[in-house]
Amino acid sequence: MSPRPAAPIGFAPPPIDEDAVAAVAAVLRSGWITTGPEVAGLEEDLQVFLGANAVGCFGSWTEAAELVWRWWGLGPGDEVIVPAVTFAATANVVLHCGAVPVVVDVDPSDWNVSAAAIAAAMTPRTKGVMPVDLGGWPVDYGAIREVVEAGRKDFTPANSVQTQLGRPLFFADAAHSFGAVYGGRPVAEQADFTAFSFHAVKNFTTAEGGAVVCALPDGFDRAEILRWMKVWGLHGATRDALAKARGGQWEYDVVGAGYKCNMTDLQAAIGRAQLPKYAAQLEVRGELARRYDEGFKGLQGVQLPPREDGLRRSAFHLYALHFLDWSEEQRNALIGRLREDGIPTNVHFIPLARLSVHRDRGLRREDFPMAERHFRGAISLPLHTSLQRDQQDWIVERVVHHATALSG
């Protein structure tokens, strides 16, 4: 039996080191702390890291996503297809626009939404699809793109950009999959838009923050679309604070009642300090996932998270076990026993149909049997770059011990 480690085990502490502290201190001393050169620098760094042409940073995934849907002109009567297992934000941004999130059940092979499920939910009102790379494991982008292309025949555009694209918008919720790979390339340009979250618990963090990649087909001015998002993310103002302060030009117009969605230089500095180390951090996460797999290979009735296949490589954001035939009580008992052993865990996610906001609009959990099955048996274990080997050995041993007792 492994001894209980002396150091407390965190669930997902941020990978902040002295370089990040120094970078933030430098911005604090620079005389400019809101959106400015650091944000522009992070956008350039992300373009290189992702191999993407058009990248914009915002205050969160949610802000970036909402701006995309506003640009697209999503509105009342429109539908966007989203998975039954995701964080509330995915559906909330659709609701903010007055549109309907059409929730589809997930696939038990990897708990992502499948292209077939999306195809079955398409209607003439479908204005977009928003699959989620759950835990950092990419959806089947190629197959979903085919479904979206096939959506041309029933698509009814409501404005000029919808007419130009001529089909539903493919928006990837890549909140978990920064650094994941699909088809030999980083997840970034497989969808029309791809948005990452840099929230405090994510692999790559700016405390709060997010980035969006625009990869609309040729004919769209991607840089101009990002510029539109920046303007609408700053109250619709045509000149930002830096341009006013340093450019010596105080005049501006406000082209519409925009929002407030900017990332600050303080946040961007944290990201810029981390990015050169991120590839190595992904390797550490992958190795931890491999060690977990090794430790759990003899455990009965459990599905391990996917790590890699010929097409995809995970970003290893979450390490979630799935006890396939467990009840909620068994899962909760495991969480409680692990807590007593000093092991923090989590459940990703409570299915949308269980949340009041969606129950109140008529969703019933019985209609999403796979999301329910996922929820009953899902438990996410600590996965982060400061997890020590003795801590991981302790986690594996306690999970195997308690799960075996609870399954028996």
Ligand X SMILES: Cc1ncc(COP(=O)(O)O)c(C=O)c1O
Which is closer to ligand X, CB of 81 or CB of 165?
A: 81
Which is closer to ligand X, CB of 24 or CB of 212?
A: 212
Is there binding between residue 347 and ligand X (CB under 6 A)?
no
Half-sphere exposure of 285 (CA within 13 A, CB side): 30
Is there binding between residue 61 and ligand X (CB under 6 A)?
yes
Distance CA 396, CA 343 (A): 10
CB of 267 to ligand X, least distance (A): 11
Q: How far is CA 165 from CA 69, 70, 123, 216, in A?
A: 14, 15, 17, 8
User: Is beta strand 302-303 parallel, antiparallel or unpaired with respect to 193-197?
Assistant: unpaired
- The region of 87-95, 229-237, 302-310, 336-344 touching ligand X under the rule CB under 6 A is 87-95
Q: Is the peptide bond before 349 cis (omega within 30 degrees of 0)?
A: yes
Is there binding between residue 62 and ligand X (CB under 6 A)?
yes
CB of 60 to ligand X, least distance (A): 3
Distance CA 263, CA 34 (A): 7
Which is closer to ligand X, CB of 269 or CB of 318?
A: 318
- The region of 84-92, 100-108, 304-312, 353-361 touching ligand X under the rule CB under 6 A is 84-92
CB of 184 to ligand X, least distance (A): 24
Q: Are 134 and 86 in contact (CB under 8 A)?
A: yes
Is there binding between residue 86 and ligand X (CB under 6 A)?
yes
Q: Are 393 and 341 in contact (CB under 8 A)?
A: no
Q: Which of 66, 105, 140, 173 binds ligand X (CB under 6 A)?
A: 173
Report the candidate in 353, 396, 398, 397 with the shortest Cα–Cα distance to residue 374: 353
Which is closer to ligand X, CB of 103 or CB of 175?
A: 175
Crossing angle (nearest 10°) for helices 265-296 and 18-30: 170
CB of 146 to ligand X, least distance (A): 23
Is there binding between residue 60 and ligand X (CB under 6 A)?
yes
Distance CA 281, CA 200 (A): 16
Is there binding between residue 199 and ligand X (CB under 6 A)?
yes
User: 3-class SS at 83?
Assistant: strand
Is there binding between residue 87 and ligand X (CB under 6 A)?
yes
Is there binding between residue 355 and ligand X (CB under 6 A)?
no
Q: Which amino acid makes up residue 218?
A: D
Cβ neighbours, 10 Å, residue 121? 18
- The region of 37-45, 56-64, 76-84, 262-270 touching ligand X under the rule CB under 6 A is 56-64
Is there binding between residue 210 and ligand X (CB under 6 A)?
yes
Residues lying near ligand X in the complex (CB under 6 A) are found at 60-62, 86-87, 89-90, 132, 173, 175-176, 197, 199, 210
